[in-house]
Every structure is written in structure tokens, then in C-alpha cells.
Structure 1
Amino acid sequence: MSTTDTLRAHDDAATDPGAEPVTASATTPRPYENYVYAYPHKTAYRPLPDRPALRDLWAGERLDALSLYLHIPFCEVRCGFCNLFTRIGAPDELTTRYLDALDRQATAVREALDGAAARAGAATVRFATAAFGGGTPTFLDAAELTRLCDIAERRMGVRLTDVPLSVETSPATATADRLAVLADRGATRVSIGVQSFDDAEARAAVRPQRRADVEAALGRIREARIPVLNIDLIYGIDGQTEHTWRRSLDAALAWRPEELYLYPLYVRPLTGLGRLGAHGDDAWDDQRLRLYRQGRDHLLAQGYEQVSMRMFRRADAPPQGADDYACQTDGMIGLGCGARSYTSTLHYSLDYAVDMREIRRIIDTYTTTEDFSRAEVGRRVDGDEARRRHLLQSLLQARGMEVADYRGRFGTTPAEDFPAELARFAALGWLAEDADPGLLRLSPEGLAYSDALGPALFSPAVRAAMAAYAWK
């Protein structure tokens, strides 16, 4: 899983619980059913009646290649397509109170990890990657960003200069003083949500910004000399054409970003666009698929490599991520309101919402919480769900999945565990016919249909839980 996908996996509010699975009798499904950044999705989580102690949850878990994620749930505005866990603004010193709570949570979590390691006679807890997401982490001012880094280092024990550190930003908050803090503390990657370089398209997506301000922010990021710049763009905006999409692509390419993410626009419940009554149809699907292929082909011609449906990396870009970290098997520690944590048998988080009033309530509760020693909301991950998660997170990457890795972990093969699904994917032309026999890999058409293929692997139980989720 890529760095930005890891960030979204914590903030994920992007999956539509009502999407229908691919069935044996179905024709080619609609290409845009769900984002699939994490599995199971948060809408399948429920309050944990036993509220297990973190010290017990992490006992026996692998602790030498963890990933750390810190969530900052604040933005200066909320885009019309956004249904992530974030609120607009932070009145009455809310950021200070939030960082105080984050400090308390980090202290409690590190104590739990150390206790679990001591019980197992394991070596010191070690982190392989770190990320700050949101929301917009750079909503914090320079002094607050310094404190955020201190929490990661002094409370959690991760040396930020020794691991890849990815941080999300926005055009309005990518200021020189904030970027200087991130560069000094070891940030190796900055991801900026531009979405469109066309001012009219930005307005259509309910994202008030001017191209001049975007270009100025990109200039400041390059001046900060952070090794990897990622630019996010969105296709499928109302009024967008092949011509305007190409202009946004070329405007981004002018900065020679090491990474580019191309996202299809989704309209979800309780978002600004959702409240405006925007909705999808076959013509919109056709438009998004056409623009995706145009963007993919243009980036490939410009020397970028496709990493997943969304992610493209410049061929000469410096590597990101630790060689020994595997998102399918290694643990994740998430701190903050919108963060998720993963053990091998339980995924857990705090409460989750999309509606602004509910988000404010959850943040206010978080800032007054004193005891962070237990898991409150989550979902158990049994053997079948672990197989589905491994297959999803591997197959949706362009490089594919080594069957031997799957067999080594589970003692079976994907063909044995998911014969009907894989047969269906093959019939649709989604599997690469020229792949090595030991490699399960998607074809270009399969990558294009990643947002239909992923949901087809959801278990009936997870799908039912997602469908029963009451949006708030």
C-alpha cells in the first residue's frame, strides 16, 4: 500500500456501504463503486463491548516494524466532495486542547506497547514509517507542528529523521515557516491536494482556491527541498473536459512531482456535493473512465510508472517506505480522532462521523478524555477476513501479488480460497494473462476497474455491517 493510501486508510470515509457485489450473472459492473483503501471499512466497525486493554491486544503481535499515523482533524474549508473526519476551523484554542489529548493518548499507547513487548520478551518497539494526515496537518501553525513532531518522537519513540515521514498539506496552509519545520524534522514527502488547476472546476467541486495561490504553494514546497512532492488531482468534476483535464495534468507536470495521484470524483452522503443533490449516472461513469485513461496514458508517456489505479510515480523518484514494512501484515498505530489501528486480529478506532455536528461532538469528547488505555470501537479480523484483506491490498497494486507470499502466510492459494471471484475477474479481462504463473496481477483494464474489483472481495458479513451503518 502506498503512503497516501495509508493516510486515507485512517481517514477513510469513502466507501459506499450500499454498493452491490459483482455476481456470476453480472455483466461488466460500473467502474466506480467504492474507494478501497482499507478493509474492513470503518462503517463495519461497532462499539466493542469488552473494551479490550491495548496492552493485551498488542501482546504477541510483531512490534519491530510498526507504522505510526497522527491524525489532525482540522481544515480551513471543507471541500464539496470531502467526507473525511475533519471540521472547519478550531476556535477557543481547540488545537492546543487537541494536542494535549494527543499527548495523553500517545503516552498511554506507548506504555501499552512497552508492556506488551515486555510480556513477550521482545526487543524494543520499532517504527518503520510515520505519517501525519487529516484533515490538514499543516492547519497547525509552526509551533504546533513542532509539538506534533515532539509527540511522535518523545512519546512514541520514533526518530522522524530515520524513517520515511509523509505529511498532507493544502495550498492555503503550505507556508514557508510550516514547511521549514517539516523539513527540519525529517519529512521525506509532502502531499498537496490541488484537485484542479482550473478555478472554475475548483468552484464546481466546492473548493474555493485560485490557481495563483496553488502555484505559489507548490513553489514554497519545492524551496523547502523535501525529497518527494505528491500532487492530488480529481477527474469527473462537473464541466470538466478532456481539454481542461489535460491542462491540469500539464500544470502539475510542470513542477516535476515525484508522485501524482489521480482520483475519480465521488459524491457521498452528508458531503457538500451530496447536499446539493449531485449524483452519478452511466454518462458520468463514461466520463470518469475516459478521463482516467487519458490521464494514465499521458503520465506513462511522460516517464511515470503506474503503482495503482490512482498512484503514479516518476521513474527516477527516490524510494519511499521501508523495505521491510508490509501493510498486509505489519501493525499500525493510529493516534487522534480519525485514526485507525491494526493488530492481526482486531482493527480499532474512536467513533466515526461525517456530519459536522457529530464530528465536533467527537472531537470535544476526545479533548476531555483522560484514559486512552482501551480500544473502544472496532471489528475483529478472523482468518477469512485476513485472507480477503491480504488479497485486496496486494492485488490492487500494479505489481500484483506473489502467490508464494500468500501461501506462506495462509497455507492455501487465492485460487483455492476465492475460485468464483477470480474466475469472474478473469472472464471480465481483469487479470493479466501474461503474468508469471507465480504472480497474480491485474491487467490494465483490471486496474481501471479497481473500484469495482475491490468491493467484489468484501465478505458478506462486512457488506451487511456496512449496509446497516447509520450515517451520522
Structure 2
Amino acid sequence: MIDFDTFTKYSRPGPRYTSYPTAPEFHEGFTCKDYEGILQAQDRSKKLSLYFHLPFCRSACYFCGCNVEFTSKEEKKERYIGYLEKELTLLSEHLDMSRQVLQLHFGGGTPTYFNAEQLGRIIALIRRFFPHFDPEAEVSCEIDPRFLTSEQLDVLVGNGFNRVSYGVQDFNAVVQKEIHRIQPYEVTKRAVDLARAAGITSVNMDLIYGLPYQTLETFKETLELALTLSPDRFAIFNYAHVPWMKKTMRKFDETTLPHPSVKLAILQYTIDFLQRNGYKMIGMDHFAKPEDELFKAIEKGELHRNFQGYTTKGGADLVGVGLTSIGEGERHYVQNFKDMKAYEAALDAGQLPVHRGLVLSEDDVLRKAVIMEMMSNFKLNITAIETRFGIDFFAYFKDAIEALQEFVDAGLVSVSKEALHVSPTGTMLIRNICMPFDAYLGKIPESQRRFSKTV
């Protein structure tokens, strides 16, 4: 039996490691000229992963940490489509658009806040600039079930979309009212039924634990209801309370947030519940049915992690398009402007809307490989890392191995000469276990770390 009160000592500010180095290390010294040079030098035989940020929402969900623009005006959406075309035109001057596309993902905001006709035009624009899609490409869209029509799904499916991700968060009416997102079970069920009827082959459902007024008992009810919809995947996130970054989060009375021991109990119950009902834990926060390709990838140790979550489509260069989008290559990160006026001004001046980025050092590349493998597969092939990078792992990471000792002593991690393994209980603390390998985090006093709590 896990002592959750004891476990709360691990509740520390720490990254989610959607990237390494993490986004706070991106800097404005990285310019559009740097990005242009990187694009022009890329291996043209390498496939592409495309992320398009569609940033608009009608109103705020108070828990949300995404970069969104609130509007009820159609002209703003129309204007944005025009700027997407400007950005793609500029990209085409530096990026070989004939490269095959392995992934396309629409994120937001609320992508389906764009109507069916607008979505069709955005997709046609993408297909015009990127004419070559891999036959096995993963083409996905994040969807708010409150903003979805059969016409929109017909447009998506008709253009090759094969995955959708529904934001649910919680089915409890008290929680929904507090987070400013009223979404009855029937609304979500209708959206899932529409997707199945339209021919979508993979449905993901997002839930969040750690929201105001949540308890273990109320979250059990949410899980039971979610299971009746039989999604192919679940993404069950730990709520990131960062009120210094997101003003809407200041609306919460922090005394209503569940204690870390309650959050751990919810997470442990969730893992047990979903595994009892046929799902497999995939990396941090994610679960999939045995027939899902993510399940097969983790068994082979081939799971990858990027800004869109977990994927089997590794090895592609990620190109981000749109407001605040992030791109990634083996040795770089790049992020567009978060402010709409700055984004538009750059494009009007004939420049890619690069706000900041980072060129990775050799040490960054090595630590990225270590952290991402652990985040994806809950283990690390030490021998393979030593061979790939020509290092003595235990000498190079002496400090990290010493810092991991508390997890080894607690039975959460085992380390041999050849490999590092995280125990099933240790997976709940995978962010903590990766943190000793983060060279940047150690330079920041814990009291000054501007990250959400790991528990």
C-alpha cells in the first residue's frame, strides 16, 4: 500500500519535459535568420511533422494553460487564415515543401471554433503547400465537444483526419461550474458518436485531476462515465496551477484544490482502474487500448515524446505554423510570437514570425535523449546511450546518479550497469526522476522555479 502522505514530499516545482531544454531556456537571440538557415540545411529526405495552432475560443476555461485568443468575431478567424497563408508562403522560400508529411496536428484554442467551410480552406491551404503525405500519416485535431458539427467532422475525415482528441476534464457539475466549462455528459457522448459515425478510427479523451472541488470519489464517477464512451486513448493530466502565468487561474480559491496526497490517490486509482478495464499506461499521463499503436510502441521501446504528447512517429522534423507554435529538430527549437499584433507585423514585413528559439549544445542533445527515453518508456538503455554518445554514463552523470539514490532507496528506481528501470509506483513520479538529469534546473533555486508542482 502506498503511503500518499509520505509521497507528498516529492511535490516540487518541475518541468513536464515536453522538450529538453525546456521552454524557459528559449531566448530572443535566436532570430528568423537563424531559423531560415536551419530550414535550408535540413536533410530533405527526412519526413515532416506539422503543427498548426488555431488559437480562438469563445470564452475562457479557467484551468487552461494554452495560448488562446477570445473572440466572437468571424472576421478575426478569416483574417487569421490569410496570415497562415502568408506564413506558409514565407516558409516555402526556405523549407523543401516536397518532403513527405508524417504527422499533421491541429491544436488550439478550439480548432473547431472554425466552421466546416473555414476548416476546409485551411486544410486545402496546407495540402497546396505540402502536397505529399505519407499513406500512414497521423492526422489529428483537438476538439471541444461543445463546438462540433457533423459537417466539420465530414470535412476532417474527407481530408484524411484519422484521430480526434476531445477535451472533457471532468464530468462533475460542481467542478465544471468552477472551471467555467459547462459540458454535460450528453454533449461529450454526442461528439464521440459523431466521430465514430464519420469514420474516425481513434478517439482520445482528455481528463484533468487536481481541479477545484475534485475528490477521489467524484473522479471515480468521472472515470466510470468516461469508460462508457470507450475512447481508444486517455490523456489524464495533472492540473498545472500557474497563476503567475495565467490570470484566469487566479479565480480559483486555492483552498479548494485537492491536497497532493489526494491527487496521488486519484492517480493511483486511475492507473489501476484503467488497467483493470483493458488500458495500458503509456508514458506519463497517457493510456491506450492493447490494439492501439502506442501500446505496441512501448512494448518495442519505440515511443517518442514531443509537444503534441506521445507518438510512434519519431524522427521527423516538427514545423510549427501559426501564433505561438513551436517547431523542433534534433538540434533546435523555435517558437512564433505569442502576441497576435507582433505575429502579424512580422509577416507583413516579409519575415517568418520567430519570437525566440534555441540551438542545442552537444550536452543538450545527450540529456534530451536520456530524459525523453525515460519520459516515454520508463526506462533507459544505458549501454545504448554510451555507444551513441561515446561517454562513460556513470562518470558523465555522477551527480544525477547520486541524486537518484533517494528513489533507488525507496524502491522506485533500479540502476544496473546496462539500464535504468522505473518501478510501476515510480512512474507516478517520472518528472521528479528525470529532474536530476536536467542541467538547467540545478542552476535555479527551488524557491525560484516557475513550474507547476510535480504532484
Alignment check: 8 A CA contact 2:171 2:183 kept: no
User: Which of 151, 168, 184 is residue 177 of structure 1 equivalent to?
Assistant: 151
| CA shift for structure 1 position 403 | 3.2
User: Which of 397, 407, 416 is residue 428 of structure 1 equivalent to?
Assistant: 407
The answer to whether the aligner puts 1:47 opposite 2:31 as a matched pair is no
CA distances 1:69-122 after superposition (whole Å, capped 9, x unpaired)? 11111122221111211111252511111111111212222331229xxxxxxx
The match for 1:263 is 237
User: Which of 307, 313, 322 is residue 288 of structure 2 equivalent to?
Assistant: 313
The match for 2:311 is none
**Which deviates more, 430-439 or 442-451?**
430-439
The answer to whether the aligner puts 1:67 opposite 2:46 as a matched pair is no
Alignment RMSD, CA only?
Answer: 3.3
The match for 1:344 is 330
Q: From the two aligned structures, give the one with the greater strand fraction.
A: 2
Measured in 1, the distance between the counterparts of 2:290 and 2:265 equals 24
Measured in 1, the distance between the counterparts of 2:296 and 2:92 equals 22
Measured in 2, the distance between the counterparts of 1:31 and 1:465 equals 12
The match for 1:393 is 372
| CA shift for structure 1 position 231 | 0.4
Alignment check: 8 A CA contact 2:400 2:437 kept: yes
Measured in 2, the distance between the counterparts of 1:300 and 1:321 equals 15
| CA shift for structure 1 position 52 | 1.9
Alignment check: 8 A CA contact 2:55 2:68 kept: yes
CA distances 1:271-318 after superposition (whole Å, capped 9, x unpaired)? 355322544899611111110001011001111111112000011235
User: Which of 221, 228, 237 is residue 247 of structure 1 equivalent to?
Assistant: 221
TM-score by length of 2: 0.83
TM-score by length of 1: 0.81
AA aligned opposite 1:443: S
User: Which of 90, 96, 114 is residue 140 of structure 1 equivalent to?
Assistant: 114
The match for 1:452 is 432
Question: Counterpart of 2:16 in 1: which secondary structure?
Answer: coil
Measured in 2, the distance between the counterparts of 1:191 and 1:50 equals 33
User: Which of 356, 359, 368 is residue 377 of structure 1 equivalent to?
Assistant: 356
Alignment check: 8 A CA contact 1:48 1:376 kept: no
AA aligned opposite 2:370: L
Measured in 2, the distance between the counterparts of 1:441 and 1:376 equals 38
The answer to whether the aligner puts 1:84 opposite 2:66 as a matched pair is yes
Measured in 1, the distance between the counterparts of 2:24 and 2:324 equals 13
Measured in 2, the distance between the counterparts of 1:280 and 1:60 equals 52
| CA shift for structure 1 position 404 | 4.5
AA aligned opposite 1:238: P
Measured in 2, the distance between the counterparts of 1:210 and 1:333 equals 36
Percentage of pairs with the same residue: 21
Question: Counterpart of 2:167 in 1: which secondary structure?
Answer: strand
Question: Unaligned stretches of 5+ in structure 1?
Answer: 1-26, 116-123, 353-358
Question: Counterpart of 2:370 in 1: which secondary structure?
Answer: helix
Measured in 2, the distance between the counterparts of 1:281 and 1:91 equals 35
Question: Counterpart of 1:46 in 2: which secondary structure?
Answer: coil
Alignment check: 8 A CA contact 2:281 2:287 kept: yes
Task: Label 1:400 to 1:158 Cα distance change in 2 as closer, same or farther (>3 A).
Answer: farther
Question: Unaligned stretches of 5+ in structure 2?
Answer: 1-7, 306-313, 451-455
Alignment check: 8 A CA contact 1:69 1:131 kept: yes
User: Which of 87, 93, 98 is residue 75 of structure 2 equivalent to?
Assistant: 93
Measured in 1, the distance between the counterparts of 2:303 and 2:377 equals 18
CA distances 1:137-174 after superposition (whole Å, capped 9, x unpaired)? 11111111112212222113342764111210001122
Measured in 1, the distance between the counterparts of 2:353 and 2:186 equals 47
The match for 1:443 is 423
The answer to whether the aligner puts 1:107 opposite 2:82 as a matched pair is no
